[in-house]
Structure 1
Amino acid sequence: MIEQKLPNILTAQHIAKYLGISRRRVYELLQMSEEAGGIRCFQIGSSKRVDKEDFLEWIEQKKN
């Protein structure tokens, strides 16, 4: 499965490529609150990162 090829910690570039959307749109999703449909993320310095499990859970929520 493609999910197994994703690293455990994702960048906006990983997410953009996986979803087929722009990095700009990914950054917008990372800025949004989870309640508003955003992707849960954490920050390392000025970089935003996403845990793979959180990302896959977000996708499942979007399917419903």
Structure 2
Amino acid sequence: MDNLPNILTAQHIASYLGISRRRVYELLQVSEEVGGIRNFQIGQSKRVDKEDFLQWIKQKKN
């Protein structure tokens, strides 16, 4: 986890979780209330703060 950058792309998340980028984009499109990952947009690109991603993982473990 330490080798991940502070701002993550879908590819970073896909590689870390061992899932497809398409599935990551699906998780980025749904709201947090129903299991989506908090993200922000720069132009057409979606990005995720590393701390938000870590929090999302913790919530999934519970």
What is the TM-score when the length of structure 2 is the normalising length? 0.99
- Paired residues in the alignment total 62
> Greater helix share, 1 or 2?
1
**Distance in 1 between the 2:15 and 2:30 partners?**
20
Residue 63 of structure 1 corresponds to which residue in structure 2? 61
Q: 1:52 aligns with which of 34, 39, 50?
A: 50
Identity of aligned residues (%): 84
Q: CA RMSD in A?
A: 0.3
What is the TM-score when the length of structure 1 is the normalising length? 0.96
Residue 21 of structure 2 corresponds to which residue in structure 1? 23
Moved >2 Å (runs of 4+): none
Residue 3 of structure 2 corresponds to which residue in structure 1? 5
